[in-house]
A and B are shown apart, each in its own frame.
Chain A
Amino acid sequence: KAGVTQTPRYLIKTRGQQVTLSCSPISGHRSVSWYQQTPGQGLQFLFEYFSETQRNKGNFPGRFSGRQFSNSRSEMNVSTLELGDSALYLCASSLGVDHTEAFFGQGTRLTVV
């Protein structure tokens, strides 16, 4: 059974640009959640999608957005990149029933220069 796949693994962007990150969940999983990990702030919840609907959103500016497709694959977009957006972005998939574990991908390491 394939795990959670995040692409790309590494990304370097310039301030002001926008970026799109992709996450393919485990087959059969309908929930995808996104997290930002930085040395200073730790792991912070961005948003969660279940069956193409955003169920929950963290405290991030509107520059951070996401969506989920009918096949459960998800994308997150960050517009007008800032240096502080440099981070490891992790995606997790789960069945969608909250008492089950979430499985993470290897993450996308974004560097903004």
Chain B
Amino acid sequence: AQKITQTQPGMFVQEKEAVTLDCTYDTSDPSYGLFWYKQPSSGEMIFLIYQGSYDQQNATEGRYSLNFQKARKSANLVISASQLGDSAMYFCAMRELNTNAGKSTFGDGTTLTVKP
């Protein structure tokens, strides 16, 4: 069964510094996708970045990068140059592409607080 683990309930980072949010996953499907979403207090889930299990390079989207270590089953999100507007809940999610069409499994989330 697919499972996502985010071990950091809360994280603090100083403005302009980099921060890494941890995510480990478990799946027996060799074909899967990993996603990170940001959820501000307004409630909307904002897509940040995607990594496919067969992608050779780590995904990057602006200040976001995904540190994908397949053998360790980890998909950590790195946010560079943190901004006050980055304060939000961050969710790691996975979708198994062969066995669970259309279903994403989410971790419990990490609340990031950026300090001025």
Contact = CB atoms under 8 A, between A and B. Distances in A.
A90 B105 CA distance: 14
Interface stretch (B12-20, B38-46, B69-77, B78-86): B38-46
Contact of B104 (A55, A102, A106, A109): A102
With most chain B CB atoms within 10 A of its CB, the pick from A43, A55, A88, A106 is A43
Interface string B83-110: 0000000010001010011111111110
A103 B109 CA distance: 18
A66 interface: no
Contact of A56 (B43, B50, B91, B100): B100
A105 B20 CA distance: 26
Interface of A: 31, 33, 35, 42-43, 45, 48-50, 55-56, 58, 88, 90, 92, 96, 98-107, 109
A-B residue pairs, 3 tightest by C-beta = A48-B102, A104-B45, A43-B106
Given A43-B91, A98-B33, A33 B102 contact: yes
Contacts of A100: 50
Interface residues of B, number: 24
Contact of A48 (B33, B44, B46, B101): B101
Contacts of A96: 102
Contacts of A45: 103-105
A101 B35 contact: yes
